Amino acid sequence: MRIALATSSYAPHVGGVEEHVRNLADVLRRRGHEIAVWTVARDGKFSQEQRDGVQVWNLPAPLPARTLRDVAQFATAAPRAWSQWNRAFRALKPDVIHVHCFGPNGTYANALAARHQTTLMVSSHGETLADDAGVFEHSRLAQTSLRSAVHRSAIVTGCSRVVLADLEARFGLDSDKGFVVPNGIDLHETATADTSASVLPGVTGRYVAAVGRLQRVKGFDLLVHAFARAQLGADVSLVIGGDGPERTRLRELAVQNGIGHQLVLPGQLSRGQVAELLRNAAAVAVPSRFEAFGIAALETWRAETPLIVTNRGGPPEFVTHEVDGLLCDPTAIDTFAAFIATVLDNSSLARTLAENGRRRVESFTWDHTASAYEALYAQF
């Protein structure tokens, strides 16, 4: 098949949807499909490039705004952008346009599908729910555009049932055409060749780890409170890998809670460094206020490290409490703290969670994910 993957973001940018689409493109290409990636150009400038054997189109996707100046800029930029999206379409002539993480990419892809009478498929990665900016709550354009695409789509997928439920409740998804396709992971991705000291300068003892963008929805402030409440001792550190707008607040919270010297914020880490961070941790926490799926849970299982994960959102759909992880409401600080302390104090429980998690993650490879999508493509 000829498949266009229209994504909100793509490599070299990093994040969940970027990894999902990059790995999906690679597997589908190796299986003989003709693949092109259409992604939103962050600088608004059109370009083309080859990445890992896949043609990547960086396409401007201007949208109308309310101010007169912005409306004028949109009127100038939109015709050229539309022409460039059509150019990408003509180059591939796709059998299906597959949208990932709906945004401006989805608006343009939906318009292309309508213009050329091409099959449209939309995959939501939780963007309607796990967004500090609340775009789909406040933007009439985003709401209308997503509803239109959901209506036009032959099939809609979500990374969890809770994501599909939101699309049904707020955006008119017919449950008969909604399917869950979980995220995947590279089981063979290895830790960086660097030593742990180079990744975590100053960390010499045990530590609790977390990774992700430092934003409110990820709940790292809740983790700081729970870690302090757990009273693990001065020789245990809390390491939160990633960067974002909450960085300064997390540092301030740690000082206020008396653990300023124990909090380590190493900033943005490479994928190898993330693998190493999780592999060497005493436990990994995923404390999100809401998590559509939780790739960090899969990364923790791969690292064979005990997992403590939020019960808000998708994780309860694939994590079994007290078998391969501990499910916890991160806003219940006392319970959260007790779970952290229990995992660090109970080596038998920690080992059981880690070993069961490593076995469980075998079911979440990118080959599994690609096969699920292929089965849906075959219905067109």
In a domain, 30, yes or no: yes
**CB crowding 172-193: b at 16 or more within 10 Å, else e:** ebeeeebbbbbbbbbeeeebbe
pLDDT band at 371 (very low <50, low <70, confident <90, very high): very high
Which amino acid is it at 174?
D
pLDDT band at 135 (very low <50, low <70, confident <90, very high): confident
In a domain, 191, yes or no: no
Average pLDDT over residues 68-78: 80
Regarding whether 350 and 372 lie in a shared domain, the answer is: no
Cβ-based neighbours of 22, under 8 Å, separated by 6 or more? 10, 11, 51, 52
Average pLDDT over residues 277-294: 96
Regarding whether 204 and 152 lie in a shared domain, the answer is: no
Whether the bond into 12 is cis, omega within 30 of 0: yes
* pLDDT of amino acid 188: 87
Determine contact, residues 292/163, Cβ cutoff 8 Å.
yes
pLDDT at position 190 over 80: no
Range of the domain at 134: 2-184+365-377
The upper half-sphere exposure of residue 103, i.e. CA atoms within 13 Å in the direction of its Cβ, equals: 23
* pLDDT of amino acid 195: 46
Residue 156: beta bridge partners?
122, 178
pLDDT band at 325 (very low <50, low <70, confident <90, very high): very high
pLDDT tens, residue by residue, 155-175 = 999 999 999 999 999 999 999
Total structural domains in the chain?
Answer: 2
In a domain, 190, yes or no: no
Determine contact, residues 36/25, Cβ cutoff 8 Å.
no
Regarding whether 213 and 85 lie in a shared domain, the answer is: no
pLDDT tens, residue by residue, 334-355 = 999 999 999 999 999 999 999 9
Q: Residue 225: which CATH number?
A: 3.40.50.2000
pLDDT at position 203 over 70: yes
Regarding whether 82 and 105 lie in a shared domain, the answer is: yes
Regarding whether 349 and 263 lie in a shared domain, the answer is: yes
Regarding whether 228 and 170 lie in a shared domain, the answer is: no
* pLDDT of amino acid 201: 66
In a domain, 203, yes or no: yes
In a domain, 206, yes or no: yes
Average pLDDT, the chain: 93
* pLDDT of amino acid 132: 63
129 vs 189: which has the higher pLDDT: 129
